[in-house]
Amino acid sequence: MIIIYHNKSKVTEVVSTTATDFSKEIHRKVVAVLLDFASQFENEILVWCHENQRNHLNVSVVDSLFHHQKLLFSFHPSADNYFGRELGYIEDSPFIKINKKVRYATWQTSGQVGAIHASALKACKPDLKIENNLDYFLHSMAKRAIVHGLLCYSEPKLLTGKNLDESIPKANLLELFKFTKQHYRTRWIFLLCFNLLLFEKRFPLLPLMFSLFYKKRSFNPVRLNQIPLASTQSIIEKGTIDVLIPTIGRKQYLFDVLNHLASQTHLPTNVIIIEQNPLEGSVSELDFIQNSTWPFTIKHHFTHQAGACNARNIGLALIESEFCFLADDDIVFGNDLLEKAMDSFRLTGNEVFLMACHLKTQTIEPQMPKQFTVFGAGHAFVKSSCLKGLRFTMGYEFGFGEDNDFGMQLRQKGFDILYISTSTILHLKAPMGGFRTKPVLRWQDEVIPPKPSPTVMLFRLLYDTREQWLSYKTTLFFKNLNKSFFLNPFGYIKLFRKKWEVSVFWATKLKNE
């Protein structure tokens, strides 16, 4: 381990577990030293720490964090982050609103304290530039590398004690516009400017103009992909797994899924089936549960209450095994799916991941495991201990967003969600099933229908920053422009606002229930 202390731009001291003399590195640029060390000490962990955080650096925890090499940890000891709240105007992802009480997946890094394995930094080095600003350098690297398998986290364990420092300098608008132009599509600099003008009455003309002179930064993941992913963190003890399947009116499809599970090279212990039929007096149609012999225990629960959220919540209470496969009732997969899932738990050392899922018209391009922004309850593998205390929020019932909400609950507990493509799942999108009677939504009698759906708005209210929420409003407005806007722009805007307000009203009611 090599620790580089700095004063934001220049190195002040280098400390190593070896007896190497690093005196010549003093007063050099921090970024230059990091890149040099990445090549010279490929097997070391490189740590950076601002002089202000020297007494709080938790050196003892660093080694245990790196259970494999493709990791980057940092922590910004301030309520805000380097790029401030305005970053929410350009990125709509869970990486923006960071829970600083737990380990949280994000490409937002910090020059205050952090660590990366030298081999990972060396792999990224060809696409990196020596910069005076360590924070900007780290953000630029993480933003590009996170989509190719560098796992990036905000890690509060790097510092000891409650030492939030609100005096830490933040990026100015010039840097934010520059970053936007270099790492997003060009249109986002104009949307950023528009949002600042619309919601904050600020007109950053100079930052906008200067940003036009920068080019988008690229990243070649070939070298990063060559680093083997082999976690030393053991999260498997028994290796048992349960499968949870909610179903409604899809008898044949479910039967096929059970046959796929029965042919697995790694058999599930229990298959939990939550069958729904809202018709009064109806009974189970799944006669094959009793009429066939299965190499696992089937836990069958029948309910007249329709709804995926309720069904999955019933099923969560029935999970017994060490791991759980949250599945749909109309999927197709190979006989080694569960075996490869266990391999993925072992290789990544991560407790939650989504197995690549596709439709018949789609193909999956193999990728290295990477952090993912969404969650899907039809193709998710989760260590059962992570599910303790979690439920699918009933406010989303018959709407959209319950999957992502559940994923955010996992994130708020400190669990990351990875995307794995070593195996694939085909989603048939079966025409049968669904809700046999159309659900009655409380807002369906509104004279002006809500837009977006109140359940979509509910997710936004719960997990977006204010700036992300407002930016979503802007993009929704532009995405739904039609000829009526040009015929009567003021009327169109007035109607849009009313639909938005109705959505906020009902989402707020759902939130408070």
Query: Domain boundary residue among 165, 195, 225?
Result: 225
Full residue range of the structural domain in which residue 181 is found: 2-225
DSSP code per residue over 160-215: -S----TTS----HHHHHHHHHHHS-THHHHHHHHHHHHHH----HHHHHHHTTPP
Same domain, 487 and 416: no
Same domain, 247 and 355: yes
DSSP code per residue over 18-38: S----GGGTTSBHHHHHHHHH
pLDDT tens-place string over residues 79-115: 899 999 999 999 999 999 999 999 999 999 999 999 9
pLDDT tens-place string over residues 51-60: 999 999 999 9
Same domain, 10 and 131: yes
pLDDT value for 485? 84
Same domain, 213 and 256: no
Same domain, 262 and 213: no
Same domain, 259 and 215: no
Instruction: Tell me if 150 is assigned to some domain.
Output: yes
Instruction: Tell me if 231 is assigned to some domain.
Output: no
Same domain, 20 and 123: yes
Instruction: Tell me if 144 is assigned to some domain.
Output: yes
| 159 DSSP assignment | B
Instruction: Tell me if 46 is assigned to some domain.
Output: yes
pLDDT value for 45? 97
Helix (H, G, I), strand (E, B) or coil at 91: coil
Same domain, 328 and 472: no
Instruction: Tell me if 443 is assigned to some domain.
Output: no
Q: What pTM was computed for the model?
A: 0.93
Instruction: Tell me if 314 is assigned to some domain.
Output: yes
Query: Domain boundary residue among 196, 225, 254?
Result: 225
Both tokens of 204, joined, read: 């950053």
Q: Phi and psi for 243 in degrees, rounded to 5?
A: -120, 125
pLDDT tens-place string over residues 458-492: 999 999 999 999 999 999 999 988 888 888 899 99
Instruction: Tell me if 213 is assigned to some domain.
Output: yes
Same domain, 251 and 365: yes
pLDDT tens-place string over residues 267-305: 999 999 999 998 888 899 999 999 999 999 999 999 999
Average pLDDT over residues 185-202: 97
pLDDT value for 437? 59
Residue with tokens 């099933």: 433
Count of domains forming the chain: 3
Same domain, 400 and 458: no
Find the CATH number of the domain harbouring 280. 3.90.550.10
pLDDT value for 430? 85
Query: Domain boundary residue among 198, 225, 252?
Result: 225
Asked if pLDDT for residue 9 goes beyond 90, the answer is no
Both tokens of 197, joined, read: 């003008």
Residue 285 CB partners (closer than 8 Å, separation 6+): 251, 275, 277
Same domain, 52 and 178: yes
Same domain, 407 and 488: no
Instruction: Tell me if 107 is assigned to some domain.
Output: yes
